[in-house]
Amino acid sequence: AQTVTQSQPEMSVQEAETVTLSCTYDTSESDYYLFWYKQPPSRQMILVIRQEAYKQQNATENRFSVNFQKAAKSFSLKISDSQLGDAAMYFCAVGYQGNLIFGKGTKLSVKP
């Protein structure tokens, strides 16, 4: 069975600073995908970034980047130049054969 653990229930960052959200997972599969989703107060789930496990290069999307450590089964999200609009719940997920397993989320607050 696949499991996803987000060990930080809440995080806080100053506007314009950098923050890293942690995620570890456990899977016996060799072909899988990793995701970070953002859920703002509107509760709409928004895809932030995606990583294929077979790729060694870390994914980057504008201010969002990941640190993927396959051997350690770690997939952290780094948000640079944090903005007030980044305040949200962030969920890490592992995908295999069409299904996703989610962590319990990290609530990120951004201080002006």
Partner 1 sequence: DGGITQSPKYLFRKEGQNVTLSCEQNLNHDAMYWYRQDPGQGLRLIYYSQIVNDFQKGDIAEGYSVSREKKESFPLTVTSAQKNPTAFYLCASRLQGATTQETQYFGPGTRLLVL
Sites of contact with partner 1 (CB under 8 A): 4, 32-33, 35, 37, 42-47, 50, 91, 95-96, 98-100, 102-105
The least CB distance from residue 30 to partner 1, in Å, is 14
Which residues, other chains included, contact 19 with Cβ-Cβ below 8 Å and sequence gap of 6+? 11, 13, 78, 79, 82, 108
The least CB distance from residue 112 to partner 1, in Å, is 26
Contact 24, 2 (CB under 8 A): no
Cβ-based nearer residue to partner 1, 63 or 104: 104
Distances in Å between the Cα of 16 and the Cα atoms of 23, 96, 106 are 23, 35, 19
The least CB distance from residue 14 to partner 1, in Å, is 26
Distances in Å between the Cα of 78 and the Cα atoms of 6, 18, 72 are 14, 7, 17
Reported residue count of the chain is 112
Cβ-based nearer residue to partner 1, 35 or 68: 35
The least CB distance from residue 18 to partner 1, in Å, is 25
Cβ-based nearer residue to partner 1, 50 or 78: 50
